Structure 1
Protein backbone atom coordinates (compact mmCIF):
# COMPACT_ATOMS: atom_id res chain seq x y z
CA UNK A 1 0.00 0.00 0.00
CA UNK A 2 1.40 3.32 -1.05
CA UNK A 3 1.76 5.92 1.68
CA UNK A 4 3.16 9.31 0.78
CA UNK A 5 4.88 11.83 3.05
CA UNK A 6 1.57 13.44 4.07
CA UNK A 7 0.02 10.07 4.96
CA UNK A 8 3.07 9.31 7.09
CA UNK A 9 2.91 12.72 8.82
CA UNK A 10 -0.81 12.29 9.54
CA UNK A 11 -0.24 8.80 10.95
CA UNK A 12 2.61 10.05 13.14
CA UNK A 13 0.45 12.87 14.51
CA UNK A 14 -2.58 10.63 15.08
CA UNK A 15 -0.44 8.17 17.02
CA UNK A 16 0.87 11.03 19.16
CA UNK A 17 -2.62 12.33 19.92
CA UNK A 18 -5.70 10.80 18.28
CA UNK A 19 -7.96 13.22 20.19
CA UNK A 20 -6.65 16.36 18.53
CA UNK A 21 -9.09 18.23 16.33
CA UNK A 22 -8.85 18.05 12.57
CA UNK A 23 -7.86 21.73 12.56
CA UNK A 24 -4.93 20.98 14.93
CA UNK A 25 -3.95 17.94 12.85
CA UNK A 26 -3.97 20.03 9.68
CA UNK A 27 -1.85 22.75 11.29
CA UNK A 28 0.70 20.24 12.57
CA UNK A 29 1.04 18.61 9.15
CA UNK A 30 1.00 21.85 7.15
CA UNK A 31 -2.14 21.22 5.09
CA UNK A 32 -5.64 22.66 4.96
CA UNK A 33 -8.31 21.17 7.26
CA UNK A 34 -10.24 19.83 4.25
CA UNK A 35 -7.13 18.05 2.95
CA UNK A 36 -6.43 16.61 6.39
CA UNK A 37 -10.01 15.41 6.76
CA UNK A 38 -10.06 13.76 3.35
CA UNK A 39 -6.68 12.07 3.79
CA UNK A 40 -7.57 10.68 7.24
CA UNK A 41 -10.88 9.44 5.81
CA UNK A 42 -8.93 7.72 3.01
CA UNK A 43 -6.52 6.13 5.52
CA UNK A 44 -9.52 4.70 7.41
CA UNK A 45 -11.25 3.47 4.25
CA UNK A 46 -8.05 1.77 3.05
CA UNK A 47 -7.72 0.02 6.41
CA UNK A 48 -4.51 1.76 7.47
CA UNK A 49 -6.18 3.36 10.49
CA UNK A 50 -8.29 0.67 12.13
CA UNK A 51 -9.53 2.52 15.20
CA UNK A 52 -8.86 4.83 18.10
CA UNK A 53 -8.70 3.93 21.77
CA UNK A 54 -7.80 5.22 25.19
CA UNK A 55 -4.66 3.86 26.83
CA UNK A 56 -5.04 3.17 30.53
CA UNK A 57 -2.50 3.39 33.32
CA UNK A 58 -2.46 -0.17 34.69
CA UNK A 59 -1.47 1.07 38.15
CA UNK A 60 -4.42 3.46 38.23
CA UNK A 61 -6.91 0.72 37.29
CA UNK A 62 -5.59 -1.72 39.89
CA UNK A 63 -3.59 -4.01 37.60
CA UNK A 64 0.05 -3.00 38.10
CA UNK A 65 1.58 -6.51 37.79
CA UNK A 66 2.14 -7.79 34.26
CA UNK A 67 3.28 -11.20 33.07
CA UNK A 68 4.02 -12.93 29.79
CA UNK A 69 2.81 -16.51 29.80
CA UNK A 70 3.83 -19.06 27.16
CA UNK A 71 1.29 -21.83 26.67
CA UNK A 72 1.63 -25.11 24.77
CA UNK A 73 -1.59 -26.77 23.64
CA UNK A 74 -2.15 -30.49 23.01
CA UNK A 75 -3.37 -31.83 20.67
CA UNK A 76 -2.24 -29.11 18.27
CA UNK A 77 -5.40 -29.29 16.16
CA UNK A 78 -7.10 -26.27 14.61
CA UNK A 79 -10.36 -26.57 16.64
CA UNK A 80 -8.39 -26.88 19.90
CA UNK A 81 -6.12 -23.94 19.05
CA UNK A 82 -9.05 -21.76 17.94
CA UNK A 83 -11.13 -22.68 21.00
CA UNK A 84 -8.29 -21.82 23.39
CA UNK A 85 -7.56 -18.58 21.52
CA UNK A 86 -11.16 -17.39 21.82
CA UNK A 87 -11.39 -18.39 25.49
CA UNK A 88 -8.06 -16.80 26.53
CA UNK A 89 -8.63 -13.57 24.56
CA UNK A 90 -11.91 -13.02 26.41
CA UNK A 91 -10.38 -13.26 29.91
CA UNK A 92 -10.38 -9.94 31.76
CA UNK A 93 -6.71 -10.33 32.72
CA UNK A 94 -5.60 -10.67 29.09
CA UNK A 95 -4.09 -7.52 27.56
CA UNK A 96 -2.83 -9.22 24.41
CA UNK A 97 -2.65 -12.68 22.95
CA UNK A 98 -0.22 -13.90 20.32
CA UNK A 99 -0.45 -17.17 18.40
CA UNK A 100 3.22 -18.07 17.91
CA UNK A 101 5.53 -20.67 16.43
CA UNK A 102 8.20 -22.56 18.31
CA UNK A 103 8.02 -24.57 21.52
CA UNK A 104 4.76 -22.91 22.58
CA UNK A 105 1.56 -22.08 20.75
CA UNK A 106 0.51 -18.90 22.56
CA UNK A 107 2.04 -15.97 24.36
CA UNK A 108 -0.41 -14.24 26.71
CA UNK A 109 0.22 -10.77 28.10
CA UNK A 110 -1.77 -10.31 31.29
CA UNK A 111 -2.19 -7.59 33.91
CA UNK A 112 -3.36 -8.37 37.45
CA UNK A 113 -3.41 -6.74 40.88
CA UNK A 114 -0.48 -8.60 42.43
CA UNK A 115 1.82 -11.63 42.12
CA UNK A 116 -0.83 -13.81 43.72
CA UNK A 117 -3.06 -12.82 40.81
CA UNK A 118 -0.49 -14.20 38.37
CA UNK A 119 -0.33 -17.45 40.33
CA UNK A 120 -4.14 -17.71 40.44
CA UNK A 121 -4.38 -17.01 36.71
CA UNK A 122 -1.95 -19.81 35.90
CA UNK A 123 -3.21 -22.38 38.42
CA UNK A 124 -6.94 -21.63 38.52
CA UNK A 125 -7.51 -20.68 34.89
CA UNK A 126 -4.84 -22.03 32.57
CA UNK A 127 -3.87 -25.37 34.08
CA UNK A 128 -7.52 -26.27 34.62
CA UNK A 129 -7.92 -26.44 30.84
CA UNK A 130 -7.46 -29.97 29.50
CA UNK A 131 -5.70 -28.81 26.34
CA UNK A 132 -2.97 -26.91 28.23
CA UNK A 133 0.15 -29.10 28.17
CA UNK A 134 2.77 -26.63 29.41
CA UNK A 135 2.93 -23.11 30.86
CA UNK A 136 5.95 -20.87 31.39
CA UNK A 137 5.51 -17.55 33.19
CA UNK A 138 7.73 -14.48 33.03
CA UNK A 139 7.02 -11.46 35.24
CA UNK A 140 7.36 -8.07 33.56
CA UNK A 141 9.50 -5.57 35.46
CA UNK A 142 8.92 -2.71 33.06
CA UNK A 143 6.86 -2.29 29.88
CA UNK A 144 8.23 0.31 27.50
CA UNK A 145 6.12 1.00 24.43
CA UNK A 146 7.28 2.58 21.22
CA UNK A 147 5.64 5.99 20.79
CA UNK A 148 4.29 4.95 17.40
CA UNK A 149 4.78 2.72 14.41
CA UNK A 150 6.44 4.14 11.35
CA UNK A 151 5.12 2.58 8.12
CA UNK A 152 7.65 0.49 6.23
CA UNK A 153 9.28 2.27 3.32
CA UNK A 154 7.92 1.56 -0.14
CA UNK A 155 10.01 -0.99 -2.04
CA UNK A 156 12.63 0.46 -4.34
CA UNK A 157 12.11 -0.01 -8.07
CA UNK A 158 13.50 -3.36 -9.18
CA UNK A 159 13.09 -5.09 -5.81
CA UNK A 160 10.92 -8.15 -5.41
CA UNK A 161 7.51 -7.66 -3.77
CA UNK A 162 6.66 -9.59 -0.58
CA UNK A 163 5.52 -13.18 -1.08
CA UNK A 164 1.90 -12.19 -0.48
CA UNK A 165 2.04 -9.89 -3.51
CA UNK A 166 3.94 -12.17 -5.91
CA UNK A 167 2.10 -13.77 -8.75
CA UNK A 168 3.41 -16.90 -10.36
CA UNK A 169 2.72 -18.14 -13.84
CA UNK A 170 3.12 -21.62 -15.11
CA UNK A 171 4.18 -22.30 -18.66
Structure 2
Protein backbone atom coordinates (compact mmCIF):
# COMPACT_ATOMS: atom_id res chain seq x y z
CA UNK A 1 0.00 0.00 0.00
CA UNK A 2 1.35 3.40 -0.96
CA UNK A 3 0.65 6.16 1.56
CA UNK A 4 0.06 9.74 0.49
CA UNK A 5 0.29 13.04 2.37
CA UNK A 6 -3.22 12.73 3.75
CA UNK A 7 -2.53 9.21 5.06
CA UNK A 8 0.59 10.50 6.83
CA UNK A 9 -1.36 13.44 8.24
CA UNK A 10 -3.97 11.06 9.65
CA UNK A 11 -1.28 8.78 11.08
CA UNK A 12 0.48 11.72 12.75
CA UNK A 13 -2.77 12.93 14.29
CA UNK A 14 -3.71 9.45 15.54
CA UNK A 15 -0.23 8.81 16.92
CA UNK A 16 -0.55 11.94 19.07
CA UNK A 17 -4.15 11.21 20.11
CA UNK A 18 -5.85 7.99 19.01
CA UNK A 19 -9.08 9.14 20.68
CA UNK A 20 -9.48 12.15 18.41
CA UNK A 21 -13.08 12.16 17.13
CA UNK A 22 -13.46 11.56 13.39
CA UNK A 23 -14.89 15.07 12.89
CA UNK A 24 -11.81 16.69 14.47
CA UNK A 25 -9.47 14.30 12.68
CA UNK A 26 -11.00 15.22 9.32
CA UNK A 27 -10.93 18.94 10.08
CA UNK A 28 -7.26 18.90 11.09
CA UNK A 29 -6.33 16.84 8.01
CA UNK A 30 -8.35 19.14 5.75
CA UNK A 31 -10.68 16.43 4.44
CA UNK A 32 -14.35 15.47 4.74
CA UNK A 33 -15.36 13.30 7.73
CA UNK A 34 -16.50 10.52 5.37
CA UNK A 35 -13.09 10.58 3.68
CA UNK A 36 -11.31 10.36 7.04
CA UNK A 37 -13.48 7.43 8.09
CA UNK A 38 -12.81 5.57 4.84
CA UNK A 39 -9.08 6.24 4.95
CA UNK A 40 -8.78 5.04 8.55
CA UNK A 41 -10.72 1.89 7.64
CA UNK A 42 -8.37 1.29 4.69
CA UNK A 43 -5.27 1.86 6.85
CA UNK A 44 -6.58 -0.66 9.42
CA UNK A 45 -7.44 -3.27 6.79
CA UNK A 46 -4.02 -2.89 5.15
CA UNK A 47 -2.30 -3.45 8.49
CA UNK A 48 -0.77 0.02 8.58
CA UNK A 49 -2.74 0.78 11.75
CA UNK A 50 -2.18 -2.22 13.97
CA UNK A 51 -4.07 -1.07 17.04
CA UNK A 52 -4.97 1.73 19.38
CA UNK A 53 -3.46 1.76 22.86
CA UNK A 54 -3.85 3.55 26.16
CA UNK A 55 -0.73 5.01 27.77
CA UNK A 56 -0.98 4.19 31.48
CA UNK A 57 1.00 5.83 34.29
CA UNK A 58 3.24 2.99 35.57
CA UNK A 59 2.90 4.08 39.20
CA UNK A 60 -0.89 3.85 38.96
CA UNK A 61 -0.66 0.09 38.38
CA UNK A 62 2.14 -0.64 40.86
CA UNK A 63 5.18 -0.33 38.60
CA UNK A 64 7.82 1.40 40.71
CA UNK A 65 10.84 0.33 38.67
CA UNK A 66 11.48 -0.29 34.98
CA UNK A 67 14.51 -1.95 33.42
CA UNK A 68 15.94 -3.17 30.14
CA UNK A 69 17.32 -6.67 30.38
CA UNK A 70 19.77 -7.79 27.69
CA UNK A 71 19.48 -11.52 27.05
CA UNK A 72 22.01 -13.66 25.21
CA UNK A 73 20.98 -17.14 24.13
CA UNK A 74 23.37 -20.08 24.24
CA UNK A 75 21.94 -21.62 21.08
CA UNK A 76 19.90 -20.41 18.14
CA UNK A 77 17.20 -22.29 16.32
CA UNK A 78 13.71 -21.45 15.13
CA UNK A 79 12.20 -23.71 17.81
CA UNK A 80 14.20 -22.05 20.61
CA UNK A 81 13.36 -18.55 19.37
CA UNK A 82 9.66 -19.37 19.09
CA UNK A 83 9.69 -20.89 22.56
CA UNK A 84 11.49 -17.88 24.03
CA UNK A 85 9.05 -15.47 22.32
CA UNK A 86 6.14 -17.40 23.85
CA UNK A 87 7.86 -17.33 27.25
CA UNK A 88 8.30 -13.53 27.08
CA UNK A 89 4.70 -12.97 25.96
CA UNK A 90 3.53 -14.96 28.98
CA UNK A 91 5.35 -12.84 31.57
CA UNK A 92 3.15 -10.05 32.96
CA UNK A 93 6.23 -7.99 33.93
CA UNK A 94 7.33 -7.78 30.27
CA UNK A 95 6.14 -4.48 28.77
CA UNK A 96 7.87 -4.99 25.42
CA UNK A 97 10.69 -6.99 23.91
CA UNK A 98 12.96 -6.64 20.92
CA UNK A 99 14.79 -9.41 19.05
CA UNK A 100 18.02 -7.65 18.08
CA UNK A 101 21.28 -8.15 16.23
CA UNK A 102 24.61 -7.76 18.00
CA UNK A 103 26.20 -9.28 21.08
CA UNK A 104 22.83 -9.88 22.73
CA UNK A 105 19.76 -11.50 21.23
CA UNK A 106 16.95 -9.73 23.08
CA UNK A 107 16.26 -6.49 24.88
CA UNK A 108 13.39 -6.96 27.30
CA UNK A 109 11.60 -3.93 28.80
CA UNK A 110 10.14 -4.88 32.16
CA UNK A 111 8.06 -3.12 34.78
CA UNK A 112 8.17 -4.35 38.38
CA UNK A 113 7.28 -3.16 41.85
CA UNK A 114 10.77 -2.65 43.25
CA UNK A 115 14.38 -3.87 43.15
CA UNK A 116 13.59 -7.10 45.03
CA UNK A 117 10.86 -7.87 42.50
CA UNK A 118 13.32 -7.17 39.66
CA UNK A 119 15.95 -9.49 41.17
CA UNK A 120 13.46 -12.32 41.74
CA UNK A 121 11.90 -11.83 38.30
CA UNK A 122 15.26 -11.87 36.48
CA UNK A 123 16.38 -15.00 38.30
CA UNK A 124 13.16 -16.91 37.70
CA UNK A 125 12.36 -15.66 34.19
CA UNK A 126 15.81 -15.87 32.63
CA UNK A 127 18.60 -17.55 34.57
CA UNK A 128 16.58 -20.73 35.10
CA UNK A 129 16.03 -21.18 31.36
CA UNK A 130 18.60 -23.49 29.70
CA UNK A 131 18.72 -21.50 26.44
CA UNK A 132 19.80 -18.30 28.25
CA UNK A 133 23.56 -17.94 28.64
CA UNK A 134 23.79 -14.36 29.94
CA UNK A 135 21.66 -11.45 31.12
CA UNK A 136 22.53 -7.85 31.93
CA UNK A 137 20.10 -5.47 33.60
CA UNK A 138 19.93 -1.71 33.10
CA UNK A 139 17.60 0.42 35.21
CA UNK A 140 15.40 2.93 33.41
CA UNK A 141 15.28 6.28 35.18
CA UNK A 142 12.83 7.85 32.73
CA UNK A 143 10.75 6.66 29.80
CA UNK A 144 9.11 8.93 27.22
CA UNK A 145 7.36 7.78 24.07
CA UNK A 146 7.88 9.98 21.01
CA UNK A 147 4.47 10.80 19.53
CA UNK A 148 5.99 12.07 16.29
CA UNK A 149 6.49 9.98 13.17
CA UNK A 150 10.11 9.62 12.02
CA UNK A 151 11.35 12.58 9.97
CA UNK A 152 11.76 10.57 6.76
CA UNK A 153 7.99 9.89 6.64
CA UNK A 154 6.37 12.28 4.21
Q: Which residue of 2 aligns with 1:147?
A: 147
RCO higher in structure (CA 8 A, sep ≥6): 2
The TM-score normalised by the length of structure 2 is 0.92
Q: How does 1:49-88 map to 2 (within 5 A)?
A: 49-88=49-88
Q: Which residue of 1 aligns with 2:42?
A: 42
Alignment pair present for 1:107 and 2:107: yes
Q: Which residue of 1 aligns with 2:24?
A: 24
Query: Take 2:55 and 2:120, find their aligned partners in 1: how far apart are those partners?
Result: 26
The structure with more radius of gyration: 1
Where 2:40 maps in the other structure, the secondary structure is helix
Which runs of 5 or more structure 1 residues have no equivalent in the other structure? 155-171
RMSD across aligned C-alpha pairs, in angstroms? 1.6
Which runs of 5 or more structure 2 residues have no equivalent in the other structure? none
The TM-score normalised by the length of structure 1 is 0.84
| Residue 89 of structure 1: how far off its partner (Å) | 2.0
Between 3-12 and 143-152, the greater mean CA deviation after superposition: 143-152
Asked whether the 8 Å contact 1:74–1:131 carries over to 2, the reply is: yes
Query: Take 1:82 and 1:151, find their aligned partners in 2: how far apart are those partners?
Result: 33
Structure 1 segments of 4 or more deviating over 3 A?
150-154
Q: Which residue of 1 aligns with 2:118?
A: 118
Query: Take 2:74 and 2:87, find their aligned partners in 1: how far apart are those partners?
Result: 15
1:90-130: CA deviation from partner (whole Å, max 9, x where unpaired): 20000111111111111100000111111111112211111
